[in-house]
Chains A and B, each alone.
Chain A
């Protein structure tokens, strides 16, 4: 009995001494997934193949998927990709199901993929497996789901809207991201659904900060002028073109963008061309774009409502739905530059 107790205590100590990653999954964030994965794709799994990986009938699962949208790619963008559909260690949740639509954050291993637990290590080391992989993929690289399976976000359609399903205790999301709960969070280790369009827009924004800054330079000058120097802004009005308006509408996509109110105001200030762009954006296929346009419409409506006498503005006590952060009161400067109309 005493030796049994000693054995149990010994095993308990051993379990505590083991590194956490050996038995459980670490936490990551959506930004880390976006930054470190290459490629990132929306794909549909065409088949999951059991590739022979040993003389005793062992196999390793490999998925073939059709790429529906490329979000990040360092080079070629083939229509079909192959990736390992099982984990390289016990806690790795990598998997694939035929027919599923997924947002994938993948890695292309520089060397052959290795296993870290005895069983999978043996199977992945089998020459038979790599021969089979070559036959299945036709020589295309065998990729791996990033972050021990965190890089696989299943996509579900709920009431006509596509959502990515995320376990937020494993993959942290920005606090302002709109999510809805799943019906049974414990069944598949997933607790929230995020509109797929939001996830894709977040990734694209994150991946193109330099381009965005270059495109938006003129627009930011305009926003600054509207904020501080209305005469300078009026001088710039003639030079506002379609591209600037597109940049402004694009800036509305981000609910956390601190100058979102200014952007909405600028589009209203631009006039017909700004309103036309917002009208088109409000019927866009992109839900993030529609939300941004709705926000700007609400902003415009608020301004009109505050302007019954012809040009005088006052702050609204209520924030516009979907508006993140504190409500700014650009009414002060608007009142100053529209003083002649009051």
Chain B
């Protein structure tokens, strides 16, 4: 899924607002965004943890 690739790349954006929105978007895509899970896992030790956890829950449901 091309949208997932683009959003996964956006997880590495230097701007926190872009990252947060990309995390949200991947969560909204849900299970089809499974390819983004490793990149999201890497963000769990950052300030984005709360949003990342929510997104991971939605992707893994």
Contacts and interface: CB of A to CB of B under 8 A. Distances in A.
Interface in A287-342: 287, 290-291, 294-295, 297-298, 300-302, 304-305, 316, 320-322
A333 B51 CA distance: 30
B10 to A, nearest CB: 6
B20 to A, nearest CB: 5
Interface string B1-16: 0110011011001110
Given A290-B10, A291-B21, A321-B24, A161 B29 contact: no
Contacts of A290: 10, 13, 15, 18
Contact of A298 (B9, B14, B24): B24
Contacts, number: 74
Contacts of A316: 28
B37 interface: no
Contacts of B29: 301, 304-305
Nearest to A303: B28
- Residue picked from B2, B13, B25, B29, most chain A C-beta under 10 Å: B25
A282 B17 contact: no
B20 A321 contact: yes
Contact of A287 (B3, B15, B30): B15
Given A287-B15, A322-B17, A322-B20, A297 B6 contact: yes
Nearest to B15: A287
Interface residues of A, number: 25
B28 A283 contact: no
Interface of B: 2-3, 6-7, 9-10, 13-15, 17-18, 20-22, 24-26, 28-30, 51
15 contacts: A282-B9, A282-B18, A287-B14, A291-B21, A294-B7, A294-B13, A294-B17, A294-B22, A297-B3, A297-B22, A297-B25, A301-B25, A304-B29, A320-B21, A321-B20
Interface of A: 159-161, 178, 195, 275, 279, 282-283, 287, 290-291, 294-295, 297-298, 300-302, 304-305, 316, 320-322
Given A294-B17, A294-B18, A297-B6, 15 more contacts: A161-B15, A279-B2, A282-B7, A282-B18, A294-B10, A294-B25, A298-B24, A298-B28, A300-B3, A300-B25, A301-B26, A302-B28, A305-B28, A305-B30, A320-B24
